Chains A and B, each alone.
Chain A
Amino acid sequence: MKQRDVWRAYKVPFLFIAPAVLGLLFLHLLPIVQGFWLSMLESNKSTIGQYLHAPFVGLSNYKEILFSSESQVHEGLWDAVRNTLLYTILVTSGTIALGIAGALLVHRNFRGRSVARTLLLFSWIIPSYVVGMLWGFMWQQEEGIINQLLFDRMHFEVITSWFGVVWDFDTFGNLIKPRWLTGDNTIWAIVIPTIWRYWPFAMVMFLAGLSSIPREIYEAAEIDGASKSEQFFHITLPLLRPVIAMIILQGIISNVYSFNIVSMMFGNGAGFPGKHGDLLMPNIFRNSFQMWNFGVGAAMSTLLMTFMIIVVMLWYRRFREEFSND
């Protein structure tokens, strides 16, 4: 069918979807174009009043981000990129692993299954900024419940010393417990609460996926002599691929754009997570709203958006078959 014929044949449907398309264009495309334009302006507190008429500086904001060794934006960027990649990979994989484990657990029939399912959803219903604040207290070296449980109750230092881990002691002979909110450990201080917050979502998705797998497939496998682990790796996992694909996509997007947990954990927005905990979104926020450099902030957002478009395209290419009707 020629293009003109298509238009003629589907004139009415096109007319019906036109408002939605225009709405989407207005809601999505316009801000993107505006953000891209802003990234080429010298938009700071002296010029913000001029908004989109601020002085045009071309690609100099991009140059500052990517190449200016003197600029604090450039210096902090690579730490944030490294941390965000690590954070996204760890959180997404952790969420998927725990989600599958949880789903397999509550998929079985046992007494109190409904109560267990409801209770396991608990961490998901807590707002992420509350999670950030709560875990900020929980991670503290002496007063925090995590170190108290690990070292005062479970004597984790003794268990780990069997495997050759060496711990430091102060001059009074007291164990120096790990500091989670400073130094290299910071990345774990933000990864673990994020997994804790989001794994129930993955569990619910996997539970839906598991319910849709026909029981007969497992029965046939059992007759053929497949063990439980073989059933898991050759039936369950392959049939859960569409769900895994969705959770990977959701995980990548929400973790790359993660802000609340890291922002609230370090001094209710006051603190800086440090070189090992700074993520891209808090970094962009700082450059835009604390440094008043909206042009640079918009340029960073544009770069991030471009990167995310490529990632989503790669994701689609990888998982395209899972969502095709054929």
Chain B
Amino acid sequence: MLIRFIILGCVFLLGGCKTDTPRQQTRLSVWVLPNFPDPQRDMEKLVKGFELENPGIDVEITVLDWGSAWTKITTAATAQNGPDLLQLGSTWTAAVTEMGALVSLDSVLQSVGGEDLFVEAGMESARPRASDSVTSLPWFMDVRPLFYRKDVLAAVHINPDSIRTWSNFTAALTRIRNQRPIIEGSLVMPFGYPGKNDWNVIHNMAPWIWGAGGDFLDSTATQSAIGRPESIQGILFYLSFVREGFNEVRNLEKSTAQVSADFDEGRLAFWLDATTKTIYLDRPQFLGGTGKSAAARNYACMMPPTSPTGNARYFVGGSNLAIFKFSKHKRESMKLLEYLVSRPDVQLQMSRASGYLPALKATYDMPYFRENPNRMVFLKMVRQGQPYPSVHYWGEIETSILSRRFGNIFDLVTAAKPGEWPEDRIIEEIKATDQEISHYIRQQLEHTPGLKERLLYWRRGHK
């Protein structure tokens, strides 16, 4: 009897030992950019649900700074040492794909339900042109609506619904400039945008170039199109806001954050910004928002006006999620990626916290979007949105050539004497930009055998 008890005791002890053995934990390293007001904590909250659903997986979040992220990501890609899962700006995916550093996500895309689940503009960057497979999945979208002050428009007797076209918009700006409304002690200027000292120069200019029927690159992405008359017309129209005194020249020295602060403090009637701005405008001051300022109480959003040709195409950016080839936890990374991109509840949570827009179409059916007029504007913009061409050399064209050349244009504008407008020199600079881009693309096509043919083939398939 004693022996039986001893054996039974041993069995219990061993059983107990077995259940107490710690489970093998997988630690997933994830690199993200500062997408949220509190980037680290908000992102940790977002993946908390995943960790609870997958008790064997711990997610370690590293938030990269926008300024250094590109260098860190590409260093990781070349050194084959970095995170498992990473966030890529939509214009970066083609370049990192070209480096051969990303896992194909075709199977993940199929398992979550296919391309139709996601916003079209998001899928364009997920499958770079000339690439056979999907190397990232869209996580969130970024559009730039026109923020405006309802009280300012009411003060100058303009119905915001009447602002549909470039001429309506110019008429509204003219009336604000001439009437110089002072609201709550602040003189309100019609419009504001920053100049050369900013990352957003190209995003701000894109809708006006596209609106005029122009483009940065031709439809095959093998030639520059910035020198075409339509593109020049779009740029000149955008710059005319400075010439006409709607946007003060002093704003051209500022960054987005500074001009954005001018809107928050009630000094601007119109302002183009990312949808994340709503988070700050809607929040009380103690949570880092703008509280009950005149701008916060009276703001609304509209789509940027359409050109005389009727073109209405808006810049859509955003970010995708990708997995490095060298990841040792591909299966777990794919699980997390699926969780973040394909579940409407998670996409909604991300959108509520960050202000960015979901890449998953189903999320837009939720009351959070359907019942808010501003978010309905965002939805329309996402649908009519256009991303930059998803080719591996776009990043250099955007960040180095266009930013520098447009910086030169802003220098010409700011250096002009009162009453002078250096239109000829601006056009000359645009033509030089055109040549430089075409030369750079030619070099890239020479360096990558077969790329031109693949791009032309891609274009034929998308006509």
Contact = CB atoms under 8 A, between A and B. Distances in A.
A269 interface: yes
Contacts of A168: 417-418
B74 A45 contact: yes
B181 interface: no
Contacts of B407: 271-272, 274
B414 A272 contact: no
B450 to A, nearest CB: 12
B243 to A, nearest CB: 13
B415 A270 contact: no
A290 B400 contact: yes
Interface in A121-148: 136, 139-143
A182 interface: yes
Given A48-B78, A171-B418, A182-B411, A272 B392 contact: no
Interface in B61-79: 67, 70-71, 74, 78
Given A140-B253, A183-B415, A268 B98 contact: no
B196 A182 contact: yes
Given A183-B415, A184-B415, A271-B407, A141 B253 contact: yes
A181 B252 CA distance: 9
Contacts of A72: 400-401, 404, 436, 439-440
Given A70-B439, A271-B407, A142 B250 contact: yes
Interface residues of B, number: 43
Q: Is the interface of B mostly helix, strand, loop or mixed?
A: helix
A281 B411 CA distance: 21
A44 B393 CA distance: 11
Nearest to B416: A183
B21 to A, nearest CB: 42
Among A139, A141, A271: residue with most chain B CB under 10 A = A271
B23 interface: no
A47 B446 CA distance: 13
Contacts of A199: none
B435 A272 contact: no
Contacts of A271: 196-198, 403, 407
Interface in A177-223: 179, 181-184
A286 B67 contact: no
B329 interface: no
B99 A267 contact: no
A186 B414 CA distance: 12
Nearest to A142: B250
Among A139, A143, A176, A268: residue with most chain B CB under 10 A = A268
B408 interface: yes
Among A42, A171, A292: residue with most chain B CB under 10 A = A292
Contacts of A75: 436
Among A71, A170, A176, A179: residue with most chain B CB under 10 A = A179
B95 A45 contact: yes
B414 A183 contact: yes
Interface in B201-253: 249-250, 252-253
Interface residues of A, number: 43
Contact of B448 (A46, A140, A170): A46
B254 interface: yes
Nearest to A170: B418
A46 B74 CA distance: 11
B197 A136 contact: yes
Contacts of A259: none
Contacts of A275: 408, 411
A19 interface: no
Q: Is the interface of A mostly helix, strand, loop or mixed?
A: loop
A220 to B, nearest CB: 56
A47 B444 CA distance: 12
A142 B267 CA distance: 14
B410 A182 contact: yes
Interface string A246-280: 00000000000000000000111111101100000
Among B95, B254, B410: residue with most chain A CB under 10 A = B254
Interface string B244-285: 000001101111001000000000000000000000000000
A270 B418 contact: no
A274 B196 contact: yes
A290 B74 CA distance: 11
Given A140-B254, A182-B253, A49 B99 contact: yes
Contacts of A14: none
Among B195, B400, B439: residue with most chain A CB under 10 A = B400
B100 interface: yes
B119 to A, nearest CB: 27
Interface in B173-204: 195-199
Nearest to B439: A70
Interface string B117-147: 0000000000000000000000000000000
A67 interface: no
B399 interface: yes
A65 to B, nearest CB: 14
A118 B148 CA distance: 51
Contact of A291 (B199, B250, B396): B396
Contact of B196 (A184, A266, A292): A266
Interface string B430-463: 0000011001100000011000000000000000
A307 interface: no
Among A51, A270, A274, A292: residue with most chain B CB under 10 A = A270
A82 to B, nearest CB: 16
A183 B414 CA distance: 7
Contacts of A290: 396, 399-400
Interface of A: 42, 44-49, 51, 70-72, 75-76, 136, 139-143, 168-171, 176, 179, 181-184, 266-272, 274-275, 286, 289-292
Given A47-B447, A170-B418, A182-B195, 8 more contacts: A45-B95, A46-B448, A169-B418, A182-B196, A272-B404, A274-B407, A274-B408, A289-B70
17 contacts: A46-B98, A49-B99, A71-B439, A142-B250, A143-B250, A179-B250, A181-B253, A182-B253, A267-B196, A267-B199, A267-B255, A270-B199, A272-B408, A275-B411, A291-B400, A291-B440, A292-B396
Interface of B: 67, 70-71, 74, 78, 95, 98-100, 195-199, 249-250, 252-255, 258, 392, 395-396, 399-401, 403-404, 407-408, 410-411, 414-415, 417-418, 435-436, 439-440, 447-448
10 tightest A-B CB contacts, nearest first: A267-B197, A271-B197, A272-B407, A183-B415, A270-B199, A182-B414, A290-B400, A272-B404, A141-B250, A181-B253
